[in-house]
Structure 1
Amino acid sequence: MDRMEFRLLGSIDAGVGGRRLELGPRKRRYVLAALLLDLNRPVPVERLIDAVWDGAPPDSARITVQGHVYRLRRALCGARLETTSSGYVLMADPDEVDALRFRRLVAAARGTDDAAGADLLEEALGLWRGPALGGPGGGKELEMAAIELEEARLAAVEDLARRLLRLGRPERAVAPLRSVVSGAPHRERLVSLLMTAFSRVGRQAEALELYERTRRWLADELGVDPTPELRDTFTALLSPQP
């Protein structure tokens, strides 16, 4: 039997055997995301409503959610989505859900040596296709879940970069760091790591330019100076190497 694939690390999507499933409108995808985030556990209808609507839901919310579940059940071949006394439960192997697999791989990297951990983290980060849960949208519950996933991504990139720098593989740290620093210039630890990686692959000018761009952004947007850690990285880049 072909393996199902559920994707939350980017647009909310699903497929089977390489074929993309037709899930329907955005609100139906929010229902699916809420079920996937509580995979194999019953999810009350009220929580599904909270996942779909930001603010006061319409009077028809319960009936609308039931309709979305009915159509999801058909799209997912029926057997996976079950009705409980208070709501619904989606049954699947956690490794079929990219967000859950990501968390498993990141957890597996903890406590391993740098080489093994870096391989696991690169596999985990390779699952990302865009903003978690497709970016802004849905209710507060999905918004918080997306923020938590994005924070986990940034932490994984930082862990990966530190391991690669210790291993003497700065060239492999550049791409994952650049992918997140551009959207998170306030994460100065990541900026510092990217500056270091740039420097170690002979891209000193890019490292210095990144510092100046970050310094201006911090001043203009937040009214603060760079942290001592970032300033120390900058100073080290200016110091002649022995």
Structure 2
Amino acid sequence: MDHLEFRLLGSIDACVGGRRLEIGPRKRRFVLAALLLDLNRPVPVERLIDAVWEGGPPDSARMTVQGHVYRLRKSGVRVESDPAGYVLCADPDHVDALRFRRLAARAAQEPGEPGADLLETALALWRGPALGGPGGGMPLEVAGVELEEARLAAVEELARRRLTLGQPERAVAPLRAMVTAEPRQERLVSLLMTAFYRLGRQAEALELYERTRRLLADQLGVDPGAELQATFEALLSGHTT
């Protein structure tokens, strides 16, 4: 029997048997996300209201949230009432954000290539910005930032492992994707430059450095930090480690 799969690492969605469920409007998706982030635990209505409205909620907020919960139930999402609020009941393995965190935690306990493989599996769950990007109230904003920080840390750790294992070709794709999205992340730029260099692509490494240097100067009025500058100088001297 097909079960519901919930997705937060990109747009907020639910799927069954590979078919996307019709969840409804944006605010209903915010309610769904807030329930999923506290999966199998009671979520007070007040927290759901905070998750839905960025500013002050309307007088009808409680009734609106109750309506969204009703519609989620009608679409097949198992949401139970609780004295403390509402509980979305599901297997954590069926929520991509929770699966990502568990895989990343397992990877931290696995040395070498097995851990790197787990990180690749975890990062493959991402389809776009966490929780569909900016939007929603403070609880979702905070959760989105935390998920993006965990993603960045996973990409960095994966790259370091692949470089240590002598597999720079397997570090390039995840690094390039993250640097494209976060071009001012100097540690990732440094790692991508190193991967390029080890693949014999020194010109790309130096071009990336120059592009980042200009970006930092134009947007922040600063020079590259010590780590990125050291990587640049090591590439020029041919003394990368």
**Aligned pairs (5 A) from 1:1-242:** 1-76=1-76, 80-240=78-238
Cα separation, 2, equivalents of 1:129 and 1:146: 14
Q: Match of 1:238, SS?
A: helix
1:110 corresponds to which letter in structure 2?
A
- 104-113 vs 181-190, greater mean Cα deviation: 181-190
Q: How many residues align?
A: 240
**How far apart are 1:183 and its partner, in Å?**
1.9
- TM-score, normalised to structure 1, is 0.97
Q: Letter of the aligned partner of 1:10 in structure 2? A: G
Q: After superposition, what is the alpha-carbon deviation per residue over 1:185-240, rounded to whole angstroms, capped at 9, x for unaligned?
A: 22111110000011111211111011001111111111111111111111111114
Deviation digits for residues 145-190 of structure 1 (CA, Å, limit 9, x no counterpart): 0010000000000000000000111011001001111121221111
Instruction: Give the aligned residue type for 1:65.
Output: V
- Structure 2, unmatched stretches of 5+, are none
Length-normalised TM-score, structure 2 = 0.97
Cα pair distance change 1:15/1:176, threshold 3 Å: same
The whole-number CA distance in structure 1 between the counterparts of 2:168 and 2:4 is: 36
In structure 1, what is the Cα distance between the partners aligned to 2:238 and 2:113? 30
Q: Partners of 1:178 and 1:102 in 2: how far apart?
A: 20
1:26 Cα deviation (Å)?
0.5
| Separation of aligned partners in 2, 1:111 and 1:93 | 23
Change (3 A) 1:212 1:201: same
2:162 and 2:174 map into 1 onto residues whose CA distance is 11
Displaced runs of 4 or more, over 3 A: none
Q: Distance in 2 between matches of 1:149 and 1:219?
A: 28
Which ranges of structure 1 fall in alignment gaps of 5 or more residues? Answer: none
Kindly report the root-mean-square deviation, in angstroms, between the aligned alpha carbons of the 2 structures: 1.2
Q: How far apart, CA to CA, are the structure 2 residues paired with 1:27 and 1:4?
A: 20
SS at match of 1:43: coil
User: How far, CA to CA, are the matches of 1:160 and 1:56 in structure 2?
Assistant: 41
1:81-100 deviation digits (Å, cap 9, x = unpaired): 10011310001110100000
Residues 119-157 of structure 1: CA distance to partner in whole angstroms, max 9, x if unpaired?
A: 000000000000000011111110110010000000000
